[in-house]
Amino acid sequence: MRKLLFPIVIALAVVVSCLPAQPASNQPPVAYIDLVSPGNAALGETVSFTGHGVDPDGTIAAYNWRSSLDGDLSTSASFKTSSLSQGTHSVWFKVQDDGGDWSKEILTTVIVVPQATGQPIVKSFNANPGKISPGGSSTLMWDVSDAATVSIAPDIGNVGLSGNRVVMPKQATTYTLTATNVVGTVTATAQVVIAAAVSDKVELYSIGAEDGQVRKDGYVGQEPDVGDTKSGTAIQGFVSFDISMIPEGATVTSATLDLTAAAIYGEPFSKLGMLLVYDCQYQTLKASDFVVGPVLGAIYTIAVTPSQPITSHVLASAIQKRVDAGSSRFQLRFQFEKPYFYNNQADYLGLGEGRTKLTIEYQP
């Protein structure tokens, strides 16, 4: 039985080799539109069309152009016609290869308008209102005649001959309307500006009766001093402001703290380091308001004797927090980076009762 296997294999190989070869599958061609000119034409004007095809495994044998309005246009790669009907034509082009397969159709557009006597006419183009509040809206309105195409920039694009569009620009914007026909192009502009936000400003001096100091030894006094005593006892200063006039829901846009009226004694900045400012709602001062421990969370640091007011967005945020909470007071604690420096000398900044100034700007 084993002796028969070899002849059988040979016989099978002969049978397989005698089977007819399978033809390779035909690859479809690809169509390309090279030229359509003009894309906007007057009725009766000659329009030129040119296209070609590529076949990866053969040659191009046939062409076909057709219009959504006029049906079949041509079976040539290139042709000219002056008989396109009025309107917007979707024109498709395809090619056929020598294997009989057609390519996918590709699309272009031709607009045919009546014979124009002049350029387009922009009867009106305006924005209403022309000035809006931040976050507000305006309506663009336009009316155009004798145009093949109308577009508005920025961000709008092609539109009809007449219409309206609501816009909400975030900054002052000039909108440009462009109307085109076979004779030419006309533009018009409309501007929307953003009205400056109305801000209110209050200038506050600290409340002398609520200002004060607390020493590490438990002493509570009315003078808002910050630094240390001659004996090296650390002093922290406190000031209080009445913010009850800022309405609920207001947005604090800026805040400026003015310490230039303070008096300096000794050498607090060279001996005790930076002056640290904290958001500290202490209500009525007491010995327990003295803070012992790491000097973290300051809303502002001052390295030298204040010579000009300090503006800080962190300060504004701290005030905003109190406004949002419905508080009538905004209070601050001052302390130096080093609690004390014993040199048999008092080194401190005397803020002065009722002399610390806070300026707040806000939008109601």
DSSP state string for 128-173: ESSEE-TT--EEEEEEEES-SEEEEETTTEEE-SEEEEEE--SS-E
- State residue 114's pLDDT score: 78
Same fold, 30-113 and 200-363: no
Query: How high does pLDDT run on average in the chain?
Result: 90
DSSP sequence for 254-316 = EEEEE-TT-EEES-HHHHH--EEEEE---SS--GGGS--S-----SEEE-S---S-EE-HHHH
Report the CATH architecture of 200-363. Answer: Sandwich (2.60)
- State residue 283's pLDDT score: 85
Arithmetic mean of pLDDT, 96-121: 88
* Separation between Cα atoms, residue 153 and residue 174, nearest integer Å: 9
Residue that is written with structure tokens 């607390």 in the block? 214
Q: Per-domain residue ranges for the chain?
A: 30-113, 121-194, 200-363
Give the dihedral of Cα atoms 160, 166, 170, 174; nearest 10 deg: 40
- What pLDDT, in 10s, does the model give residues 316-363? 999 999 999 999 999 999 999 999 999 999 999 999 999 999 999 998
Helix (H, G, I), strand (E, B) or coil at 279: strand
Confidence of residue 14 (pLDDT cuts 50, 70, 90): very low
Residue 2 in this model has a pLDDT that exceeds 70? no
Q: In the beta sheet, which residues pair with residue 177?
A: 152, 188
Structure tokens given for 338? 């080093």
CATH 2.60.120.650 for domain 121-194, yes or no, is no
Is the backbone peptide bond immediately before 23 cis, with ω within 30 degrees of 0? Answer: no
Query: 125: burial class by Cβ within 10 Å (0-12, 13-18, 19+)?
Result: buried
% of the chain exceeding 70 in pLDDT: 92
Neighbours of 364 (CB within 10 A): 12
Confidence of residue 152 (pLDDT cuts 50, 70, 90): very high
User: Among residues 341, 336, 350, 344, which one has the least CA distance to residue 230?
Assistant: 344
Residue 226 in this model has a pLDDT that exceeds 80? yes
φ/ψ of residue 248, rounded to 5: -60, 135
Residue that is written with structure tokens 């503006």 in the block? 311
* Separation between Cα atoms, residue 17 and residue 162, nearest integer Å: 74
* Separation between Cα atoms, residue 331 and residue 278, nearest integer Å: 9
Q: In the beta sheet, which residues pair with residue 227?
A: 235, 348
* Separation between Cα atoms, residue 364 and residue 360, nearest integer Å: 12
Residue 93 in this model has a pLDDT that exceeds 60? yes
Arithmetic mean of pLDDT, 212-220: 97
CATH 1.10.569.10 for domain 30-113, yes or no, is no
User: Among residues 92, 91, 88, which one has the least CA distance to residue 113?
Assistant: 88
Residue 3 in this model has a pLDDT that exceeds 80? no
Arithmetic mean of pLDDT, 57-86: 96
